[in-house]
Amino acid sequence: MSGAVALSAFLAASIEVVEMVAIVVAVGVARSWRASLLGAAGGLAVLGASVGALGPALGSVPLEPLRLVVGALLLVFGLGWLRKGVLRISQEGWMAGAVGDDDVEAGPGAGFDATAFVLSFKGVSLEGLEIAIIVVALGAGAGAVGSAAIGAGAAVVLLGALGALTHRLMARIPRRVLQLGVGIMLAAFGTFWAVEGVGGHWPANEAAIPALGALYLGAATVLLARARGWRAATGL
């Protein structure tokens, strides 16, 4: 057991785990916990099969095409939710009405929420693949794959538990506000991955993700004010 390798894997994997957990929790709260967790489980199952089949060859899997496809889909989907959040909040306000009032209208319905499943599946399988590559790269380089796996596994368990604790807090937020927030988050992750997928490089690496979130939050704030003005001008 190499403590240094385990710690390095823990720290390196933590960044990916935070992204993975954020998507699963956000989709679970905003859409459907059942579908989001099933999507996460499906993503982990595909990941486990990939790791088992490829083993050390995992390090040579090209990530750019995956990042492009997943990033572009998350971005388009996130922009859709951002738009809906802005339209609803500009019409109804941030907190008007009881929590959950708009669930009946905007919720995923009684059936299985395939959209939530796909969102979580994609987030978990892509981030999980990156974690597996970190484990293989750090572990194989130091001859301690087991230690790297333990470090990365600890990151998944600890940060996953933290994510589970936040869901009660998030469940108290009105759906339209969640829709705006989750839209901003998905758009930020999607933009980051899609640009990396076309071969672009971010000036500050993963620190660009919160910066993108701030950009989209700023845009949403401006658009909320503008949308109220447009509504007033059109008499809606």
Partner 1 sequence: MVRAASAVARFWAGFVLGDDPLAAVIVAVALAASWVLAASGLPAWWLLPAAAVLAVALTVRRGVRSGRRSVTNR
Q: Residue 205 carries which DSSP code?
A: G
As a whole number of Å, the end-to-end CA separation of the chain is 66
Q: In the chain, what is the greatest distance between 2 CA atoms, to the nearest angstrom?
A: 69
Quickly count helices (H) and strands (E) in the chain.
8, 0
Q: How far apart are CA 202 and CA 207, in angstroms?
A: 9
DSSP letters for 8-36: HHHHHHHHHHHHHHHHHHHHHHHT-HHHH
79 binds partner 1 (CB under 8 A): yes
Instruction: Please list the helix, strand and coil fractions of the chain in percent, rounded to the nearest 5, in that order.
Output: 85, 0, 15
Q: Which is nearer to partner 1, 9 or 89 (CB)?
A: 89
Quick one: which segment of 20-28, 105-113, 128-136, 139-147 binds partner 1 (CB under 8 A)?
105-113
Q: Binding of partner 1 at residue 108 (CB under 8 A)? A: yes
Q: Looking at 14, 120, 125, 191, which residue binds partner 1 (CB under 8 A)?
A: 191
Q: Which stretch binds partner 1 (CB under 8 A): 7-15, 65-73, 135-143, 149-157?
A: 65-73
Length of the chain: 236
Q: Which is nearer to partner 1, 94 or 230 (CB)?
A: 230
CB of 161 to partner 1, least distance (A): 30
Q: Which of residues 119-178 bind partner 1 (CB under 8 A)?
A: none
- Binding residues (CB under 8 A) for partner 1: these are 68, 72-73, 75-77, 79-80, 82-84, 86-88, 90-91, 105-109, 114-115, 118, 187, 191, 194-195, 198-203, 208, 212, 215-216, 219-220, 223, 226-227, 230-231, 234, 236
